[in-house]
Structure 1
Amino acid sequence: MSPDTPITAGPALQWNGYPATAATADKTAAQNVSVLIADDDLAVRRSLRQTIEAWGYTVVEAASGRQALALMAVDPNRVVLSDIDMPEGDGFDLLHEITGRYPQAGVIMVSGMSHEKIIDAAIEGGALGYVQKPFRLPELKSQLAAAVRKLQNPGRTQDLDTVKEYARLFVMTSDLHHIETGSHIRRIQKLSRHLARLAGCSDTHADLIGEAAGLHDIGKLAIPDAILKKPGPLTPEEFEIMKTHPVLGGKILEAAKDPLLKLAHVIALHHHERWDGNGYPHRLQGEACPLEARIVGIVDVYDALTERRVYKEPWPVEKVIEFFHEKRESSFDPRLVDLLLSNFAEFETIRTAEHS
């Protein structure tokens, strides 16, 4: 058998007729990189997993597009090997969601289909590569290595520092413009980071969520001061104008290419959606709203209720807890509410530390 012989799923993928082992792995390139295999065929997933783990990668599996997105929300710094024909969101749906939400990830499409139009559509949609079934290991390994290099781009750290500085400038601008106090934005960043970690996000992604959360209300820069700074309750007409700030924030950030600003775009646009689908602007229901936006949405309300505002006094802790119990399955993701309430003392410590 030559190295270019097609390989089908079985107990293990083969390399030159022998099981792929750690001896064939490029451990250095694979270090700290996770590979997500999204395929509804269990035999394919297991065979791919055994081979790719032998190359030195950490591997997780998903049997559907929906499962894959849930895993990406926890840690988006992955290379994704995605089948095209899957339940609950096919490979092209998954590609669109990942390239839109997680530009720091790399996607390689995997399929038994070899039609030129399908391959072109995958590449034009943002895929880094396309591997046809049955697999040829040299092709798979080389495309995987190329995707890893993209994730390990050494210039990203300096770029991220620049974007973080941009986010901090917005915090200062908001404070001067009296949109939100700088202390409120800093609390939202810290609280979002903490809830993200409790929700199972990796430290890296939780930190990114925390940074991006500082831009959640950037759209308020376009709201008239007469509404934004009104000391009393808004009229129904004024509230409709205020409700446009997520869309306005989305427009400000929609052309962003950097991963932090791409995530900030998602959060700014969706942090006022509700679990029951009665939020705004797009009435997204349940997990259709990105996890990052659900996290920022709940801590934004928590901070608003517990802090003094020009139009209200802070609520007592007992009333805040009762509120979240009542809204657990209507306004907010019930799992996130449970994490907030079961760790309430920790959130209070983080929130009140900003006052000292």
Structure 2
Amino acid sequence: MASLSVSVINNIQQQYLFYSSSILLPLGCIGNLCEIFVFMTLRSFRGNQCTFIFIVESISNIGLLLSIFVPYFDTRIQGQDPTLVSVAWCKLQGPIQQIFGLCSLFTICFLTFDQYMCTNPRPYWRQIISLKFTHRFIFFMICFVILHSIPFFIFTELRPTLGCNIFSAAMNSYYRYFYYPVLNSSLPLTITVVFSLFSYRNVRRIVRRQIPIDRRRLDQQLTAMVLARVVCLISLGLPYILYNVYRVTFRTTETNQVVLAVTNLLNSIVNSMLYINFSVNFYLFLIISTRFRRQVKRFIIKKYLHFIQKEHSNRNQVAPIIPHLIISNVESL
């Protein structure tokens, strides 16, 4: 009975992994590409540091989804995990996922801080955050996450009997006591929650400020989108963080195969919840922002009409008559 239960649970896990991956990869890539295209094309979003951060986050999300799901489908097709065959891929997969994951997480933190500063009633604080300042922050953020991933690249090893993992006691202690509980969970969540609440308070005071109505509406729209992004991050990322903190902190050698199968299934579920967080930005903005829906709709209609007019003009274009061809034909007669 125990072996049958294990077989059923493992089969459920494999089916869940396949269908969730098959949905999340195209859904996330298409949604993030649409978000990048809309933010880069619509005139109302150009030159705004908040939309620039959204673009950087979308790029990070695409990189993270590809680095997670492409090896999974390769393993499913080839029948063998590439990290157990190639030492290079064993060392690169973890740091690559860590780089894109931390970039996405840090950009969300900076988004909340940016909205707090941009909606601050004090003009001096609003002038501190600029597009140039944002570019510098993104540059230093990328340098930091790359440098942070180097030790993981160095200490990741491929051993014949133990597989691909980090076997250094110091790095495992760093994972257990700082990376998961602080850098990857409590610190970003605290920053996003605190500055989101401050931004919400500032937005409620925007009506009393003497600023152009278009700028006021844009600030309100972007703040609502950032707050929705933070709620999505907390709702979908918290189960993953709690599960991994528990797994790293209370690591046990469980021998019950049924418990191990249930644990693996639970791990697949919390992982898929986290990956949803990196896939639904564009669709979330369409749901919570009426103004964003109108902007996207007008943009699609405008591009569609432009395409139709271009095709119609190409069909109605008359080919010019080339004189030298007529002369040559006459001479040949």
TMscore range, shorter length: under 0.3
TM-score (norm 1): 0.25
Larger RCO (alpha carbons 8 Å, 6+ apart): 2
More strand by share: 1
* Structure possessing the higher radius of gyration over alpha carbons: 2
More helix by share: 2
